[in-house]
Amino acid sequence: MTAPLVIVGSGLAGYTLAREFRKRDTATPLVMVSADAGQLYAKPSLSNALAQGRVPAQLASETAEQAAVRLAASIHAHTRIGAIDRADRRLAGERGEIAYGRLVLALGADPIPHGLAGDGVDRVHAVNDLDDYARFRAALAGHRRVAILGGGLIGCEFANDLAASGHAVEVVHRGAWPLERLLPEAVGRAMAAALGGKGVGWHFGRTAVRAEVAGDGVVLDLDDGGRIEADLVLSAIGLRPRTALAAAAGLITGRGIVVDRQLRSSDPDIHALGDCAEVDGLVLPFVQPILAQARVLAAMLAGEPARLVYPAMPVLVKTPAFPLVVAPSLAGQGEWQVEVTAHGMVARHLDAAGRLTGFALAGGETGRRLEFAQQLPAWLD
Ligand SMILES: Cc1cc2nc3c(=O)[nH]c(=O)nc-3n(C[C@H](O)[C@H](O)[C@H](O)COP(=O)(O)OP(=O)(O)OC[C@H]3O[C@@H](n4cnc5c(N)ncnc54)[C@H](O)[C@@H]3O)c2cc1C
C-alpha cells in the first residue's frame, strides 16, 4: 500500500492543501493531524464576527468528521505532534506514532508573548484560533471596556469590531500611528481619527508593562506612567511562525520553516506552507499567498511540475469605519506620495526610480485595488 501523505495542521493551509490534493489524487491515503478540534473555519472572520452578531459556534462550517468524509481522509483531531523521526518517517503524537510517506507541515504561527508582569495576566487574551476566540467571547460577556495591545492589522480590526458592537476600546500601540509599517503617516492618522470617531482611544508610542487585577477588571500600566482601566485585555502584537518542531528535526529554519518554490524543506520529503513557512525568503501570513502555495504543493505532491509565483496580493483590512486596502512594498527603501481625493485617499509607495512598489487605498478609493495591483511588480515571478 502507498505510504500516506500526512498533513500536520487543520487551518486554512492544511485544509486547502488537502482539497487541492484530492482534486488531483484520489488514491493516495491522506492523513491529517491537528492539535485542535479540526473544525473548518475562516480565521479572518474572528476579527469581524462580533459586529455581525455571529457567535463562535457559527464560525465553523464543518467538523473534522465531515471534512474527513469529504476529503476521503483520516483526521486525528486533538493530537499534538511532538517530534518528527525523519530516519524512520514517523511522527510522535500524543496517542502513538503516525507513519508518513511524505509529510506537510501546516503548523501556523504563535502569538508573540505580551511579556506583561502583574497578577492580571490571566485577563489578557490573544485570539489566534477558534478556541481562543470562544474563550475571549465568553470572558467578554457582560463587559464593556477592552484594552488592545497592538495597532497592527489584527489590533485595528478587533478595535473596529469591538467599538462597533458597543465596547469602549483603548489601543496601546508602540508606533506613532496604526499600521505604521504598511501606511504612511497621513493615512494612518486618518485611520486613527475614523476609529476614534467610533470611540476608540489611542495611546501611540507607548507599551504596556504590567496588568494588575482591579476588582472584576484589570489596570494596565503603560511605560510612561499612564494607566488604563479595562475589563479585559486583548494582545494583538503579532505572530511568530511555529518552527520548533521542524528545527528539532534538523530542518533548516529562519523566520519560518525554510522552503523553496516547490514548498520543499531541506528534507525533500517534508514540505511546509502557510503561516509557519518562509517561502523563498518571504513570510506572508495572509490568505491569498496560502491559496497559491496550496495549489502548487498539491500539484507537486500529485507528480505534476509546478513552481510558485506570486502576483502582488493586496490585503483588505476589515475596518468598516475606515475602508482600507494595502499592498505592502517588498522593495524596502522608498517614499510615500499621498493624495486626498474626493472619495478617499490614495497612497503610492515609490522606489528611487519612481516605480510603484506598494500602495494603500482608503475610503471610496478601495474599489481601485485591481487597477493598482496590476501596476505592481510580482512578489515572486
Ligand atoms: C484574527 C485574524 C484575522 C485575520 N484576517 C485576515 C484577513 O482579513 N485577510 C488575510 O489575508 N489574512 C488574515 N489573517 C491571516 C490568516 O487568517 C492566516 O494567514 C491563515 O489563517 C493561517 O492559516 P494556517 O493554516 O497557516 O495556520 P493556522 O490556521 O494557525 O493552523 C495551524 C494548524 O496547525 C495545528 N498545529 C500547530 N502545531 C501543531 C502540532 N505540533 N501538532 C499538531 N497540530 C499542530 C493547529 O492546531 C492548527 O490546526 C487573519 C489572522 C487572524 C489571527
Question: Which DSSP string do the residues of 243-287 spell out, in sequence order?
Answer: -HHHHHTT--BSSSEEE-TT-B-SSTTEEE-GGGEEETTB---SH
- Cell numbers found for residue 62: 464543518
Q: Give pLDDT, residue 257.
A: 98
Rounded to the nearest whole angstrom, what is the distance from the C-alpha of residue 225 to the centroid of ligand 1? 35
Residue 289, ligand 1, Cβ within 6 A? no
- C-alpha 110/C-alpha 122 separation (Å) is 18
* Average of per-residue pLDDT across 93-114: 95
pTM, to two decimals: 0.97
Hey, which of 179, 287, 369 would you mutate to test ligand 1's pocket, going by the most ligand atoms within 8 Å of its Cβ?
287
- Which among 7, 8, 10, 43 is the best mutation to test ligand 1's pocket, defined by most ligand atoms within 8 Å of the CB? 43
In this predicted model, what pLDDT tens digit does every residue of 118-173 receive, in sequence order? Answer: 999 999 999 999 999 999 999 999 999 999 999 999 999 999 999 999 999 999 99
Ligand 1 pocket member 218 (CB < 6 A): no
**Helix (H), strand (E) counts: the chain:** 8, 27
User: All domains of the chain, ordered by start, with CATH?
Assistant: 5-110+240-301 (3.50.50.60), 113-235 (3.50.50.60), 323-373 (3.30.390.120)
Q: Given a cut of 90, is residue 93 above it in pLDDT?
A: no
Rounded to the nearest integer, the mean pLDDT of the chain is 97
Instruction: Tell me what the mean pLDDT of segment 72-77 comes to.
Output: 98
Q: What is the pLDDT of residue 200?
A: 98
Over residues 205-217, the mean pLDDT reads 96
Q: Is the pLDDT of residue 332 over 80?
A: no
Residue 1 has pLDDT above 90, yes or no: no
Instruction: Provide CB contacts within 8 A for 145, sequence distance 6+.
Output: 167, 168, 170, 217, 229, 230, 231, 232
User: Where does the chain have alpha helices with state H?
Assistant: 12-24, 64-71, 130-140, 153-164, 185-196, 244-248, 287-301, 369-373
What pLDDT sits at residue 8?
Answer: 98
CA–centroid distance, residue 346 to ligand 1 (Å): 30
Cα–Cα distance between 9 and 77 in angstroms, integer?
9
pLDDT in tens, 228-283: 999 999 999 999 999 999 999 999 999 999 999 999 999 999 999 999 999 999 99
Instruction: Specify the pLDDT at position 177.
Output: 98
Q: Is 35 in the pocket of ligand 1 (CB under 6 A)?
A: yes
Q: Inform me whether the pLDDT recorded for 175 exceeds 80.
A: yes
Neighbours of 279 (CB within 10 A): 25
Alpha helices in 9-112 (DSSP H): 12-24, 64-71
DSSP class of 368: G
State whether the beta carbon of 277 lies less than 6 angstroms from ligand 1. Answer: no
Cα of 108 from ligand 1 centre, angstroms: 5
